[in-house]
Amino acid sequence: MQLKRWWHNYHEFISLETAKNINRIVARDDAFFPGELRTGQGFFSTYNGDYIPPEIIDADKETEFLNELPASNRSTTDKALTLMFHNMRQQIFWDGNKRSATLLANKFMIDNGAGLIAVQADKYPTFLRKISDYYHSNDMAEVKYWTYENGIQGIDLMKAKN
């Protein structure tokens, strides 16, 4: 319910503050510090073994990334996928990074009329493997292509009018 209220009342551009607000809601019951940038080191298990994210989150670099991405010469969908996978791999928050990154990317998609990123449950294990491969390689080309082919849900305008 909190996310729905936020979504309907929040009309700012994608920013680090937007990401923090999403994480504050998404991870409020899971994280010790929801909405706060990760300040320590950790690791988590993936299909390819333990992944250790970047040691320190540089708020200035993340803000620069978020400012430059919308202005880049890419499609809306490519920008949204780049945003999502970048934020997932950076692990900028203590918990809820995949959920927060997906919601932030979907906000960008919806705000720009580009549909929705939604991987169906039966494809989710493959999606997690692709994410794991990306975490360890730092090459998001394959996971972006796979997600584009399997996880982008368009808006059927004819059905939306009925």
- Strand stretches in 8-69, DSSP E: 44-46, 49-51
Confidence of residue 160 (pLDDT cuts 50, 70, 90): very low
> What does the buried/exposed string (b/e) look like for 105-137 if buried means 16 or more CB atoms within 10 Å of the residue's CB?
bbbbbeeeebbebebeeeeeeebeebbbbbbee
Q: Is residue 131 within 8 Å of 85, Cβ to Cβ? A: yes
- Lowest average pLDDT, out of 12-16, 42-46, 47-51, 154-158, goes to 154-158
The predicted model scores a pTM of: 0.87
- Domain 2-161 top-level CATH class: mainly alpha
In degrees and rounded to multiples of 5, residue 115 shows phi and psi of: 95, -145
Residues 51 and 90: beta-carbon distance below 8 Å: no
pLDDT over threshold 60, residue 156 = no
Cβ neighbors of 162 (< 8 A, separation 6 or more) are none
Average pLDDT over residues 149-161: 66
Query: For residues 15 and 65, is the Cβ–Cβ distance under 8 A?
Result: no
Above 90 in pLDDT, residue 158? no
Q: How confident is the model at residue 162 (pLDDT cuts 50, 70, 90)?
A: very low
DSSP 8-state assignment for residue 122? G
CA–CA separation, 77 and 83 (whole Å): 10
Model confidence pLDDT, tens digit, residues 52-88: 888 789 999 999 999 999 899 999 999 999 999 999 9
Q: Where are the domains of the chain?
A: 2-161
Give the model's pLDDT for residue 12: 58
Is the separation of the CB atoms in 21 and 6 below 8 Å?
Answer: yes
* Mean pLDDT, rounded, for 86-97: 95
Amino acid at 20: K
Classify residue 12 by its DSSP letter: P
